[in-house]
């Protein structure tokens, strides 16, 4: 992998920033994204971190213009965008190879050396002639990521990209992403694996931004990890003392007695 890419900042140049201003998205009475203003710099490896239902995926969909904001604005530079979806998006009726072929053709990705690199890095070779509908969750995720990467996007948006992926594939893919020269925005609730590569973290909770800081500015003193830091921050926002141990399940005999 060494030498595949030059530095992220050098490669991307100044292509503008992703900006959201007072961004709000409501679904009926539910506010999925609430007055979010963030800025993602060119070449940045940015993590949108938060528990389930915190609005990360909705924010990504707003950035991709897959849903319209209720209020506020989104600004994404007009550059090549690749996206890996929470629910992998591909043609289940086609094989892996046909999916790659169709989308490569659709986005004008005619660099077949690169496409082969993507297939290799995602360890998809063995599944190329399998029907996508028959793929395991892990392979489905890899195909989705391959389709996101084949056009060598300047901006890469990934929603829970490691879901269902095996540890070997995860490690290789994380290294690959770490060297990827474009801007990367990852939405996840498990930041540990990404932590060594990140430039910035935006923690979300119930649609709002809890904090949005450069990694180097986060003081992890007293915390086991960035994951722990984020969990405590979210719990504190909920008014729960992080020191209080979470309620544990009662022993089986105790449950039986209570009946």
Partner 1 sequence: MSILSLLKKEGHWSKRNVLVLVFLLVALPTFFATTSVMFQEVVPREVPVGVVPADERVSEEDLRIVEGGVAVFSDPQVIDSEEKALEALNRERVYGIVTVPANITESGVDAQFGLTVNGAIVPFQQPSEVIVGLMQFQLDDILAADISAERTVIGQENTLPEYLFPSFLMVVVIFFAFTYVPYNLRREKDVMDRLKVETSLESVVAAKLIFYTAVMVAPIFIFHVTASYYGYRIDSFAPGAVAVLLLTFLLLSVLSMTIMVLMRFSATGQFVNVVLMLGMIALSALTFPVGFFSAIRTTIARSLPTHYSMIMTRSVMLKDLQLTGFTDWLGAFLGLIVLALAVLKLAIIYHRRTV
For partner 1, the closer of residues 127 and 203 by Cβ is 127
Phi, then psi, of 18 in degrees rounded to 5? -90, 125
C-beta neighbour count of 211 within 10 angstroms: 16
For partner 1, the closer of residues 61 and 205 by Cβ is 61
Residue-level length of the chain: 259
Return the range that interacts with partner 1 (CB under 8 A); candidates 59-67, 160-168, 183-191, 203-211: 59-67
For partner 1, the closer of residues 140 and 199 by Cβ is 140
End-to-end CA separation in angstroms for the chain? 59
If binding is defined by CB under 8 A, does position 128 make contact with partner 1? no
For partner 1, the closer of residues 42 and 109 by Cβ is 109
| C-beta of residue 201 within 8 angstroms of C-beta of residue 40 | no
Footprint on residues 179-238 left by partner 1 (CB under 8 A): none
Partners of 183 in beta bridges: 155
Side-chain half-sphere CA neighbours of 131 within 13 A = 4
Residue 140: its H or E element:
helix 137-149
Return the range that interacts with partner 1 (CB under 8 A); candidates 1-9, 79-87, 203-211, 216-224: 79-87
DSSP labels, 173-231:
HHHHHHH--SEEEEEES--TTTGGG-SEEEEEETTEEEEEEEGGG---TT-S-HHHHHH
Return the range that interacts with partner 1 (CB under 8 A); candidates 7-15, 103-111, 186-194, 236-244: 103-111
Q: How far is the CB of 87 from partner 1 (least distance, A)?
A: 8
If binding is defined by CB under 8 A, does position 130 make contact with partner 1? no
If binding is defined by CB under 8 A, does position 94 make contact with partner 1? yes
Q: How far is the CB of 97 from partner 1 (least distance, A)?
A: 10
If binding is defined by CB under 8 A, does position 114 make contact with partner 1? no
Footprint on residues 32-51 left by partner 1 (CB under 8 A): none
C-beta neighbour count of 245 within 10 angstroms: 7
Residues that bind partner 1 (CB under 8 A): 61, 64, 66-68, 81, 83, 85, 89-94, 98, 101-103, 105-108, 131, 147
């Amino acid at each position: 992998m060494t030498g595949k890419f030059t530095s992220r900042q050098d490669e991307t140049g100044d292509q503008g920033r992703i900006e959201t201003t007072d961004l709000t998205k409501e679904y009926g009475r539910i506010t999925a994204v609430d007055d979010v203003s963030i800025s993602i710099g060119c070449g940045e490896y940015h993590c949108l971190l938060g528990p389930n239902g915190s609005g990360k995926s909705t924010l990504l969909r707003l950035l991709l213009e897959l849903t319209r904001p209720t209020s506020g604005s989104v600004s994404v530079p007009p550059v090549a965008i690749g996206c890996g979806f929470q629910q992998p998006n591909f043609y289940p009726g086609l094989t892996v190879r046909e999916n790659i072929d169709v989308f490569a053709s659709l986005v004008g990705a005619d660099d077949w050396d690169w496409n082969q690199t993507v297939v290799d890095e995602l360890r998809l070779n063995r599944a190329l002639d399998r029907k996508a509908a028959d793929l395991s969750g892990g392979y489905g995720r890899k195909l989705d990521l391959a389709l996101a990467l084949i056009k060598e996007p300047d901006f890469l948006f990934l929603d829970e990209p490691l879901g269902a992926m095996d540890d070997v594939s995860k490690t290789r893919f994380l290294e690959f992403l770490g060297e990827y020269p474009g801007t990367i925005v990852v939405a996840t609730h498990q930041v540990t694996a990404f932590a060594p590569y990140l430039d910035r973290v935006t923690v979300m909770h119930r649609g709002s931004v809890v904090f949005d800081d450069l990694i180097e500015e986060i003081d992890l003193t007293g915390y086991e990890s960035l994951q722990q830091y984020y969990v405590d921050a979210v719990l504190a926002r909920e008014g729960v003392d992080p020191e209080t141990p979470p309620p544990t399940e009662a022993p089986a005999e105790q449950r039986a007695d209570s009946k």
